Structure 1
Amino acid sequence: MNQKPALRLLLEKMANMPWKEYPGHFGGALSKELAGPGTTGSSRVDFRISRYAPAAYVEEHVHKVQEQVYYVLEGEGILTLDDTKNLMRPHDYVYVPPGVRHSFTNTGTQGLVFLVITTPASDDEETR
């Protein structure tokens, strides 16, 4: 029997969370898991802050069941949704439903900083 981990209340300072370059991310495309499976035990949500150095990117990919919201705080970059390129700047946001191919590249001269909310936390339908 698969037992889900207990959920944990989390009140934390962002500075205490480590930067990580996740698989499929390149050139200094870093993220901090703020609330998700590794920090709270949640299987329902993965909340991250990301900072991409100039020219850093996440390769094109598609989610089977995950929904995502990206919210840009600083910088600018190109978010490709299927075959459409979209310039994203501060306070722009997007909802990406499952099945949409997407990638994000910092095309600016400064860091691209954005929030990412993903639900469920895993794209594996069997773990939902």
Structure 2
Amino acid sequence: MSDEPTVVVRTLADLPSFGSGDLSSQILADETLGVENVGVGVVTIAPGARGSRHVREVEEIVFVLSGTGRIVTEDDSHDLAAGQAAIIPPGVHHYHENTGDEEWKKLWIFAPQGPEKAIRARGE
């Protein structure tokens, strides 16, 4: 067995899903894989559903893979569609809502890590 670093390939279909039927996340990379500085995953939000209002102590970056939705802050709202990204600074209260007729699927990145632990706590 080698101590050399290696590429890790993950497939969404093979990963556990954390959350409810309306909003669930799958974790692609975090400290459990030896990734030290960021957490990465995919969240899927059902049509008409929205997440709870929350605030993070880390930067949150989302990139829309499919569907349409909105990020709502205390002062503004931002509509996003496939191919668009949003950067949410630490300390900004917000929620995510699906405004379309299909699943809203987004890649999320937390820098540094942290929130993915709460995602795991939701259970499978």
In which range does the TM-score fall when normalised by the shorter chain? 0.7 to 0.9
RMSD value, Cα = 2.0
Which ranges of structure 1 fall in alignment gaps of 5 or more residues? 1-6, 124-128
Aligned residues between the structures: 111
**In 1: Cα distance, 2:64 partner to 2:11 partner:** 20
Q: Percent identity?
A: 27
> Does residue 79 in structure 1 map to residue 71 in structure 2?
yes
CA–CA separation in structure 2 for the residues paired with 1:8 and 1:82: 43
The one-letter code matched in structure 1 to 2:53 is E
- 26, 32, 43: which one aligns with 1:32: 26
User: 1:14: which partner in 2?
Assistant: 12
Higher relative contact order (CA 8 A, sep 6+): 2
Question: Which ranges of 4 or more aligned residues in structure 1 deviate by more than 6 Å?
Answer: none
CA distance in 1, matches of 2:21, 2:50: 7
* Aligned counterpart, 1:70: 62
Aligned CA distance change for structure 1 residues 87 and 99 (closer, same or farther; 3 Å): same
Match of 2:90 among 78, 94, 98: 98
Task: Name the TM-score, length of structure 2 as normaliser.
Answer: 0.79
Instruction: Give 5+ residue unaligned stretches, structure 2.
Output: 116-124
Q: Deviations over 1:54-100 (max 9, x none)?
A: 12222111122x00111111111111133211111111111111111
Letter in 2 for 1:57: R
